[in-house]
């Protein structure tokens, strides 16, 4: 017997990712969009998506769903996680630029419900994390590791959440804590590059959906591992897969590798 479709609440349905999630859900049997919630000043409020009227009533939306998908802003992610905690509602969270308070709200939700959190829901980037970790481990900190990320001009946070995941994967390959070796952009007289530093440069412009390159500079040779997203549909499909997977799991925080069976 096949499992019933997971009932999904989409946050921010008028946003870039919210729209992509709703489009990707059409024609999928494992998920059904049952609620769509946006901010009071969102352009699509009151209109219909996937037979749903977009409202601001998050409490009713959580009641009508098994899991919510969140690609919004850190403040919204924090507020909705606190509400979802009172209902032990499962969550799939893709918002990036999260601070300590936002992470604490997610951790509190994960005590009572299963929560998938990923700064990138694409299969390719999640595979890339394993590749860069392997490369960093094999090459060691003698090979200078740098990350370059490029995104559209509307992106608010920098470095991207994906660049941070890549940085952490390289640091794990070097057996060091990322925060002790990271260098987010350089400006002014920063001195020569210390051995083991992991630099991240952020480029913003146009409508680039997301590009990440990890560069390993060796003596007279260089390795570059690049991922380029050319459609938000890959993130949306990954988030929907995570939503169908997470319903019914024990409380806890999961990543995309767990969803993909690669953990």
Task: Summarize as ranges the residues that interact with ligand NAD (CB under 6 A).
Answer: 11-12, 14-18, 37-39, 42, 71-73, 76, 94-97, 118-121, 235
Shortest Å distance, C-beta 176 to ligand NAD = 25
Shortest Å distance, C-beta 36 to ligand NAD = 9
Residue from 152, 155, 182, 184 carrying the catalytic annotation: 155
Return the HEC string of 25-71: HCCCCCEEEEEEECCCCCCCCCCEECCEECECCHHHHHHCCCEEEEC
Q: Which is nearer to ligand NAD, 114 or 159 (CB)?
A: 159
Shortest Å distance, C-beta 128 to ligand NAD = 13
Q: Which is nearer to ligand NAD, 139 or 200 (CB)?
A: 200
Please, is 158 exposed, middle or buried when counting C-beta atoms within 10 Å of its C-beta (0-12, 13-18, 19+)?
middle
The residue sitting closest to ligand NAD, measured at its beta carbon, is: 15
Q: Which is nearer to ligand NAD, 12 or 114 (CB)?
A: 12
Q: Which is nearer to ligand NAD, 17 or 52 (CB)?
A: 17
For β-strands 114-117 and 198-204, DSSP reports them as unpaired
| Contact indicator for 242, 31 with CB cutoff of 8 Å | no
Active site residue 151: yes
**Per the structure block, which two tokens stand in for 79?**
């507020």
| Contact indicator for 181, 174 with CB cutoff of 8 Å | yes
DSSP 8-state assignment for residue 254 = E
Residue from 151, 182, 212, 227 carrying the catalytic annotation: 151
Catalytic residues: 151, 155
């Amino acid at each position: 017997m096949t499992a019933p479709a997971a009932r999904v609440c989409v946050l921010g349905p008028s946003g870039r990712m919210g729209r992509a999630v709703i489009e990707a859900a059409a024609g999928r049997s494992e998920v059904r969009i049952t609620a769509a919630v946006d901010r009071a000043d969102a352009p699509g409020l009151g209109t219909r998506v996937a037979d749903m009227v977009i409202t601001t009533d998050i409490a009713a939306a959580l009641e009508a769903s098994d899991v919510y998908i969140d690609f919004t802003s850190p403040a919204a992610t924090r507020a909705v996680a606190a509400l979802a905690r009172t209902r032990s509602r499962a969550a799939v969270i893709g918002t990036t630029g999260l601070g300590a308070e936002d992470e604490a709200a997610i951790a509190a939700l994960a005590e009572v419900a299963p929560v998938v959190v990923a700064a990138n829901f694409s299969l390719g980037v999640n595979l890339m994390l394993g590749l860069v970790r392997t490369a960093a481990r094999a090459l060691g900190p003698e090979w200078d590791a740098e990350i370059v990320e490029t995104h559209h001009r509307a992106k608010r946070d920098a470095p991207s959440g994906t660049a941070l995941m890549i940085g952490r994967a390289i640091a794990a390959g070097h057996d060091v804590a990322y925060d002790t070796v990271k260098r987010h952009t350089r400006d002014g007289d920063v001195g020569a590059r210390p051995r083991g530093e992991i630099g991240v440069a952020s480029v913003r412009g146009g409508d680039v959906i997301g590009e990440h390159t990890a560069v390993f500079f060796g003596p007279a040779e260089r390795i570059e591992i690049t991922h380029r997203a050319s459609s938000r549909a890959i993130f949306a499909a990954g988030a929907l897969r995570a939503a169908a997977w997470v319903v019914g799991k024990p409380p806890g925080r999961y990543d995309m590798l767990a969803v993909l069976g690669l953990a």
